[in-house]
A and B are shown apart, each in its own frame.
Chain A
Amino acid sequence: MRHLRALLLTNLKASLALRGAFWARAVFMVLNNGIMLAIWLLFFLRYDSVRGWRAADTVSIYAVCATAFGLAVVLGHGVNDLARRIHEGGLDALLTQPKDVLLQCVGSRSEASGWGDLFTGVVLLAVGGHLTPAGIPICVVAALSGAAIFLASMVLFHSVAFWLGDTTAVSRQAVHFLLLFSLYPSTIFGGWLKLLLFTALPAGFIGYLPVDLLHRFSWGTLLAVAGAAVGYVALAALVFRLGLRRYQSGSRFA
């Protein structure tokens, strides 16, 4: 834990070193999120609901996803370069260190715009009336599990590089898909698409179930969300470890 804290503080210092760029990225991300949400709110002025999905649900899904995604990229933006590092032998330097390779790699960068996401998420949770004494623990579980699933999915998408070579573009595209599907009304998806959103692209566990949890708390949903977070993190760690056995040094200095 001490190591993790030191890693996070170092990254935060590095992002804050360019103070102007840090604030520009964070503030513009808040505006960016606000505009996207505004488009949906305008849509719901015209259409009351989409199969029972209302404007309040969209505010909640933006709140949950922005908080989770913000946390994920503030704490672990290093994962964004994982496929490239695997392909180019960039893990060499981490393998010689006594700490966990995956943790080092994931925590090696922090994205300043994530603070903007985090701020947006917390404000929207407050606007939605979820930051009450009873609601705060639920928000914390939703945000932490969402961030964990985001990071775990990113590790899974990028770890494919151990087997397929340079998959940076495909891996990043998969992350975009995850984010894309997380933000739309869950009621429009059914059948095989719904199955996909609770397995390979776990948008259901990042957005839909946590929103359900915020609006209609049930222990079953809470367990499903927390269980999914633990499951995806364990799966990501396992796949990364299996991949690491196949990893070959980049011999960059040879």
Chain B
Amino acid sequence: MKIALAGNPNCGKTTLFNDLTGSAQYVGNWPGVTVEKKDGILTGHKDVVIQDLPGIYSLSPYSMEEVVARSYLVNEKPDAILNIVDGSNIERNLYLTTQLLELGLPMIVAVNMMDVVRRNGDKIDTAKLAKALGCPVIEISALKGEGTKEAAALAMEEAKKGVQNERPHVFTGSVEHALAHIEESLHGNVDKASSRWAAIKVFERDAKAIETLGVPTDIISHVEDHIKDCEKEMDDDAESIITAQRYVYIQKIVGECFKRSPRKASTTLSDKIDKFVTHRILALPIFILSLCVMWWLAVADGGPGTILTDWANDGFLGDGWHLPFTMHESKAEGKYKGMDFEAASDAFAREDASKSAWRDAYKEAYDKKNGEGAYDKALEAFNEKAEKEFKPEKDGDEFEKSEFEVLDEAVAKTVVAKEVFVEDEETGEPKAKECDCEKCAKKREAGEECEGCGCGCGEPEKWNVDYAAYQKAAEYEEPEPGDFGVWVPGIGALVGDALDKIGVGETVKSLVVDGAWGGVATVLGFVPVICIVFLFLSFLEDCGYMARVAFIMDRLFRKFGLSGKSFIPMIVGKGCGVPAVMAARTIESERDRRMTIILATFIPCGAKTVIIAMFAAIFFREMWYVAPLMDVIGIAIIVLGGIALKKTRAFAGEAAPFVMELPAYHMPTASGIVRHTWNRVKAYMLKAGLIIFPACVFLWFTMHFDWGFNLLADEEIERSILHDMGSWIAWLFAPLGFGTWQGAAASVSAEIAKEQATATLGLVAANMEGASTAAHVSNLFGSMSAFPRLAAMSFMLFNLFVPPCMVAIAVTFREMGSKAWGWLAVAFQLFVGYALALSVYQIGMLVAGGGFGVWTAVAMLVDLFCLWMVVRPARKAA
């Protein structure tokens, strides 16, 4: 048995659906959240299917999602209709009810939001209403779960009984007379139950409905005279007569059954908020400010997003982390006694730098004396000997000594490593000195930079290391984190340890740690950012601001021929491009809908947020505005791209007028927001497992094997399959500044899922110098271009603004309804992304002093072409 939920937009159909079926479909506070029919099994009744339909204002569809609802109700005929009526707005809602009754299907009316009605002090006489409508009426509150089970049971009962009561006479006078006549003429041509509906459609001259019903043309022309007489008598067109009489009828029954408590005429809170957020001048700044707040929370240096991301990357997924509030100074005997963890780590980093620098210097000196490669050979021999002959119980003295004493201590004594420094993790530059003198300590306490106080503070610190200093440094071992507080090992460390315990080979370990886990961890490390962005979006969507944003964007969008409704898919697209493309269904005009689909995915989605977060953290840390700038660029592309598209023949013409219901604001419930956010974050994490994981394994294989499937050592990466495949297409990206195999591999793999770009970068940059993924990636771009930050910006822009991921492209093709339109969308997006990256890199290089080249000229020509497309005179509508 099928029971369809039908009603006005935003009247609570999906809330009821979730309550009845126990599913968790998305409920938002703006008209048009549901754009597809959704099925669910009624809890406790395996044979009953509840169907959630998009909201409709009437059975004469205006936009595509309304067509979905009407054609289902009219053509497929559910066993019963559960009509949901918003009790706080009963008049407008009953308008649809009168139309649904005419379909001649078993039906019940559920008056929803009874909690609000009661709070307002209004009273609804359901018994009277039931009598007037000729069908059962029940009071419910879908949000609170009141009366929902009873409503479902009542609908099932009605479905079994079939239509028994006579349906109300909505129309009067000559209209009723004409309808009765038409119904009579249709007898035998249409189903008897829905003959009233058919008659009204014929009366309204609804060409589409008449065609579907298959009414013979001779009947149409036969009844035409009756319609014309009626129109003459009422001095109006047939359609308006029907609409007006429906409202007259509704007013009559509402007057009988509905008691409205007198209300104060003061403006409601929603109206007050609206005055502010839809203000002529303030509206747009408020919207942009809210975007900036979101980005600050998510990716700003020192903001909650970055703190959590650092913890997720280095702590939770990396080596491990200290439990907060358990940190203390080391009590263990040794070099670090009395220090806190940070000081100990700094001290070790210093000594470690001394050690490795001196070792390198020794190697160089040894090779100079004994010939190229002599050191490696000698060391190998020493290690072999040590392994064979070392017996711990005998405690052989020789092996207590370092290799340098054994190999050639005379050389060691002469070696001095010059200008040793500790690398800064982010910049790779020497770390600044922090001295302990009183003067500096005071300044630091006061929160001032202690620079230029004469003791070298704040300046890059470099020092020399001789043999004695090396021997001292060699005594320092890595500080044991457990000595400084409760240490929780990270997943990365646990995976490494577990593999060591099982005793797998180096290859397998590399596959798991660098390949599979490394890529997945890079993506999972961004979960905090994703959480914050999704939390913020969920709040915006649930509180009721969405519809207002559409409204305030209308004036701007109208300038390039789209209505403000096109902005809703774009906001939805901030979360994910797939529902964004689907959300375009609420747009009435097919032409506007197609254009919106092409443009909607230019707004950076959740997955692209990950790319932004990574690049903002590595390359643009002090430029807080880079992240919100990406959204602004997205909107700018939409506006300019819209203007350009509108001037082509395919899209010429005025935008559909903007009319949209603004739901009352309400404070979203914490559980609602958390559930909504969790659903999206879960999808993101599932994607890490189901898509990113296999992709990383594949990339690792192609990176570590050559075409003959021989395992490659790290320095042989130039022979790998991935290197070759990347190199084939790398020339395509050369004008953009990242034309190496790594850049190509990352960009192409990003089409699988956008966040794959970050995973791939982490993977292909692993061979670069540096202590962290950030340093690797930073150095990778340094190796690509003389202007690494420009190349990084270009890479980011390219990956944000070329076509979205495969799934979104597939949905685009489906929603476009034809391959030609799908390819057009992809081609347009590809052009925009490439042109933008090309312009920024080439013209940026010109400004930065990189000289004028062929590609600079090409970039300028492309820009001129784009400019022409935007400013050229408009075509007249076809």
Q: Do A and B come from one complex?
A: no
Instruction: List residues of chain A with CB under 8 Å of any chain B CB.
Output: none
